[in-house]
Each structure stands twice: as C-alpha cells, then as structure tokens.
Amino acid sequence: MRTNPEAGLWLFTATQNTSGSRAVQFIRTIPDRENRAACAWCARGIEWSAHCDKPMTPPGAHTPEHAAMNAQTAVRTDDPTPPVMSMRAVSKIYRMGEIDVPALRAVDLELHAREFVVILGASGSGKSTLLNILGGLETPTTGTVRYLDHELTAADEPSLTRYRREHVGFVFQFYNLLPSLTALENVELVAQIAPRARDAREVLERVGLADRLHHFPAQLSGGEQQRVAIARALAKRPDVLLCDEPTGSLDFPTGRRVLAALEQANREFSTLTVLITHNAAIAAMGSRVIRLSSGRISQTQVNERRASAEEISW
C-alpha cells in the first residue's frame, strides 16, 4: 500500500497474472480534501464530477489523451504500474556569480521498472545534471522528483544517502574503484551496506570476471574495471542503475563488452537502467531514447526493437 499525498489514498495491488503481464487495480478509498487524484501520466490533478463521487476523466489520467498515453506506456513497457521515478517541471540553474547557467529547463520525465533508458545529448546539454538529480546527488532549483512515493526534493541529506544506499546503483565514467581493494572486495564493500545484497562473487561471474576476483584495480584493464564497477552497482540489487558515460573512456570493443554487461543486467535482473551517452550509436540499445538539448527534452523515442550490444558499432 502506498500513499500519494496529492491523490488521496489509493490501494495499488499489483498481481502477476498468467500471461506474465501485470494487472493493476486502482481502488480509490478516500478522496482527499480537494477531491483530487493525480494523473498517472503527468501527475496533474484529475477532475472530479460534482454530483457523484467519480472522476470525470478516465481513471488514473487527467485527460483522455493521457489515458491513451498511459495505455501506450503500458504496451511499451508491459507495465502500467506507476513510474519508479518521476520528474516534474524540474529546472536546475547554476549560479556562477552574476550569471545564471541553466542546466535543465522544465524537464518532465518518468522512468518505469525494467526500462533501459538511454539519454543522449551533446556535451553540456545537461545529461549529467539530470542523472545526478535522479541519483539524489543534487537537488533541482525548481520542480519535484519522486522515487516511488518518496519525494526526493523534500528529503534531507541522510534520507538521500539512504536512498542512494538502498535503491540506486551508480556506474561512473572513471570507474572510481577503491585502489586498495581487490575486485571482489570492492563489490563486497558495497554489498555489505545494502539491505538486500546479491552475492558478490556471483555478480562478478555474471559480468564475466570470474577469473579476476582477486585482482586489484591497477591489475585490471579499463573495461574490466568498469565491469567491476557495474558488478559493484548491481550487487546491492538496486531499483535503478544510473550510468554516466560508462564507455566514455573505453575503446570500442571494450566499451561494447561493458554495454553487453549492462544489457545483460537489465535483462536478467530486470533493473531499470538509465544510461547517459553522447554516442548516438548506443541509443539503439535503449527501450526508450531521450534526447536532451540545452537542458530540455527535445525528443523521446521508443525503440520497438532493442539492438543488442553486439549489433552496435561506432
């Protein structure tokens, strides 16, 4: 049961049906003071009929169009559940003395379970800023960010740390492994602090590093280090895996192996993955591709068919 303060109290019961897709029932219990619920697509308020207790608009959407969008999303992701993460009207403005540098402008975005979202954009378009906001490392200047029913924008530092610790996996461009620990120890270190960690050895085997467990970062190639970083992120069983240019400092074949590891993780662990790149070729891998330019989402594209890592080249 989850509460959504803007929409009154709803009971979401998600059951796995025989066909493998999820059926979701929305059971409205008590409408809130203002008789409003939120649209599942855009989270804006839903109009209520004045004379009876039913919403005027289709359930869970504030306009018929959004109801259609909801349906489409359901088709796309096979998952009409509410988003794992959502951003609404998020702007980020860096203040550099007298000048304001807008990094993000009114971005709306939802991320659903099991998606593989590729965020594509030129350098300086705001990709990292977006990712850092999703990861609870930065707070937007305006707008709200939610993780499930938690409003990250209202959270304090310790709760954000807990959020990162329990729900987010990070993969950085520069791996950021602890040089003093072996591959296995690097993964164990993070697994230790997560409440539902996976077995470190097993995850490392999954990313193809079974024979590198006791190597120190300095004894591993860049690609191998990045795969250790991926294993480290996955070991905590994250709800969302955030990767900022994971192939940015790797050559093509090595980069491809890293992408394969990410793809495999998304497939086998069903982890919602957000991957940032300025490499358009990688976009083909995503279930959804979001293009960012000058801090705005300029285009959203749903890939009917996702290319596998092997098919990609740059």
Partner 1 sequence: MRGTYLSLVRARQIYYTTTRFADVFAQSRRAPLPLAERLRALPGVKAVQTRVVEDVTLTVPGLTEPATGRLISLPTHPGSADDLDRLTLTAGRLPAPDSDSEALVSQTFATANALPLGAHLGVILNGRWKELTVVGFALSPEYIYEIGPAMIFPDNRRFGVLWMNREALGTAFQMKGAFNDVAIATATHASVPEVLDAVDRLLAPYGGLSAYDRSEQPSYRFLSDELGEIEVNATYIPTIFLAVAAFLLYTQLARLISIQRSQIGLLKSFGFAAWRIGLHYLEFALCIVAAGLLLGIAAGIPFGAALIGVYRLYFHFPALTFRVTAGVLVTASSVALSAAGIGALSAVARATRLAPAEAMRPESPRRFRPGLLESLPWTERLDPMSRSIIRNLARRPWRAALSVAGIAMAMATVMVGRFIFDAVHHLVATHFDAAERQDVTVVFPDVRAPRALASLRALPGVLSVEPFRVMPARLRAGPRSKRVSILAVPPSGQLYRIIDVRGNRIDVPPAGVVLTRKLGEILAVHPGEMLRIEQLDGKRLHFSARVVRLSQEPIGISAYMDSAALATILREDAAISGARLRIDAREAPQLYVQLKRTPAIAGVSIRAATITTIGQIMNRSFILMTTVMTGFGIVLVVGMVYNSARIALSERGSELASLRVLGFTRLEVTQLLLGEQALLVIAAIPAGCALGALLCRLLIPVFDRELFRLPFLLTRATFAFAALITLSAAILAAALVAVRIARLDLIGVLKSRE
Ligand X SMILES: Nc1ncnc2c1ncn2[C@@H]1O[C@H](COP(=O)(O)OP(=O)(O)OP(=O)(O)O)[C@@H](O)[C@H]1O
Looking only at residues 125 through 164 of this chain, which bind ligand X when binding is defined by CB under 6 A?
Answer: 125-129
135 touching partner 1, by CB under 8 A: yes
| Whole-number Cα distances in Å, 179 to 128, 217, 221, 222 | 25, 6, 13, 13
x/- map, 268-287, ligand X, by CB under 6 A? ----------x---------
- Smallest gap, in angstroms, from Cβ of residue 150 to partner 1? 15
- Smallest gap, in angstroms, from Cβ of residue 17 to partner 1? 35
- Pick the closer one to partner 1 by CB: 247 or 287: 247
Angle CA 58–63–66, to nearest 5: 90
C-alpha to C-alpha distance for 5 and 205, rounded to whole angstroms = 43
| Whole-number Cα distances in Å, 254 to 83, 226, 251, 259 | 33, 9, 6, 9
- Smallest gap, in angstroms, from Cβ of residue 201 to Mg ion? 32
Q: CB 185: neighbour CB atoms within 10 A?
A: 15
180 touching partner 1, by CB under 8 A: yes
Angle CA 165–156–238, to nearest 5: 20
Binding stretches for Mg ion (CB under 5 A) = 128
C-alpha to C-alpha distance for 277 and 39, rounded to whole angstroms = 31
The residue ranges that bind partner 1 (CB under 8 A) are 128, 132, 135, 137-138, 158, 161-166, 168, 170, 172-174, 176, 178-181, 185-186, 188-190, 192-194, 214, 216-219, 232-233, 236, 244, 249
Applying CB under 6 A, which residues contact ligand X? Answer: 94, 96, 101, 103, 121, 123-129, 278
